[in-house]
């Protein structure tokens, strides 16, 4: 059974809350080994390493989280703590200054950390609408969340999938293109980009995307299924096709919050 990275991260978050840091490390290393982790997984792994006394490994993971999300205030603060423990006070002070500067910046007229929290709340409300079967309202809430947190590509990924579900293939394609542009290694988003291209009637673009996915992850049976579907109809779906065919739900992953975040809707710095 293929367990999604999102599920593994949530399991790791539960282990972390129970102070089973080694258990959290095991699960998070599995996610990262698959190349499908967003910044929050690296951040949580860094915290776990720090709490078991492995500060160099912790620093490496926190740095990786900040590479993926340079505005990750919480990761900057925890990096400063680790640097202090390593006796690197000057670098620790620089990390804290950077965190303070980011905290004072405005996004949509709000402090960045406030905007991030509101983005989470809009996403939570969107999930509630989706669970109630109100897809248009769910899409609206996710679009608002991304206005407040434009770099939160996990939310963008979920929005793209909802747009596909709502028959808005062109709009979904735009969302997946943004993710792939910023996270070219995020092959699940690339696979969904191919699906959005296909459903929008652009079979050539879908084929190019999926062939690239197959080259980079040849073990993914989903991509082979998409290419086989395309081979049966190499001009794209019939006119008027608007919704995605049944498919295995790809994982959602990205970088947005610390260990206190909610499952799948984590708090952001």
For residue 148, give the nearest of 130, 171, 170, 124 by alpha carbon: 124
C-alpha 172/C-alpha 195 separation (Å) is 9
Domain boundaries along the sequence of the chain: 5-104, 151-232
- The fold adopted by the segment(s) 151-232 is 1.25.40
CATH of the domain spanning 5-104, picked from 2.60.40.420, 1.25.40.10, 1.10.3720.10, 3.90.230.10: 1.25.40.10
SS3 state of residue 165: helix
* Strand-strand pairing, 106-107 and 110-111: antiparallel
Round the CA-based radius of gyration of the chain to a whole number and report it: 19
Would you say the CATH fold of 151-232 matches that of 5-104?
yes
Contact 74, 269 (CB under 8 A): yes
For residue 189, give the nearest of 228, 218, 154, 239 by alpha carbon: 154
**Per residue of the chain (269 residues), what is the pLDDT tens digit?**
456 677 788 889 899 989 999 999 999 998 888 776 778 889 999 999 999 999 999 999 999 989 888 878 888 999 999 999 999 999 999 998 888 887 777 677 777 778 888 998 999 999 999 999 999 999 999 999 999 888 888 899 999 999 999 999 999 999 999 999 988 888 889 999 999 999 999 999 999 999 999 998 888 888 889 898 888 876 445 444 545 544 444 433 344 443 333 334 444 44
């Amino acid at each position: 059974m293929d367990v999604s990275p999102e599920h593994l991260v949530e399991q790791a978050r539960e282990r972390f809350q129970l102070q089973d840091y080694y258990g959290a490390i095991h699960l998070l290393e599995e996610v990262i080994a698959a190349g499908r982790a967003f910044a929050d997984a690296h951040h949580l792994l860094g915290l776990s390493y720090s709490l078991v006394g492995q500060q160099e490994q912790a620093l490496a993971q926190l740095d990786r989280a900040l590479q993926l999300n340079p505005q990750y205030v919480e990761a900057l603060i925890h990096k400063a703590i680790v640097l202090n423990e390593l006796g690197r006070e000057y670098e620790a002070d620089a990390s804290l200054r950077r965190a303070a500067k980011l905290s004072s910046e405005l996004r949509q007229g709000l402090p960045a950390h406030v905007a991030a929290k509101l983005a989470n709340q809009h996403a939570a409300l969107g999930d509630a609408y989706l669970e109630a079967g109100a897809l248009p309202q769910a899409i609206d809430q996710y679009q608002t969340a991304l206005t407040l947190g434009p770099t939160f590509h996990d939310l963008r990924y979920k929005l793209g999938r909802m747009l596909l579900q709502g028959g808005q293939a062109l709009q979904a394609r735009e969302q997946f293109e943004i993710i792939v542009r910023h996270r070219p290694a995020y092959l699940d988003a690339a696979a969904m980009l191919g699906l959005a291209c296909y459903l929008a009637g652009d079979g050539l673009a879908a084929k190019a995307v999926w062939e690239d996915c197959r080259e980079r992850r040849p073990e993914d049976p989903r991509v082979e299924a998409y290419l086989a579907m395309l081979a049966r109809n190499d001009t794209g779906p019939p006119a008027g096709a608007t919704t995605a065919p049944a498919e295995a739900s790809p994982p959602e992953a990205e970088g947005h919050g610390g260990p206190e975040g909610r499952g799948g809707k984590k708090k952001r710095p």
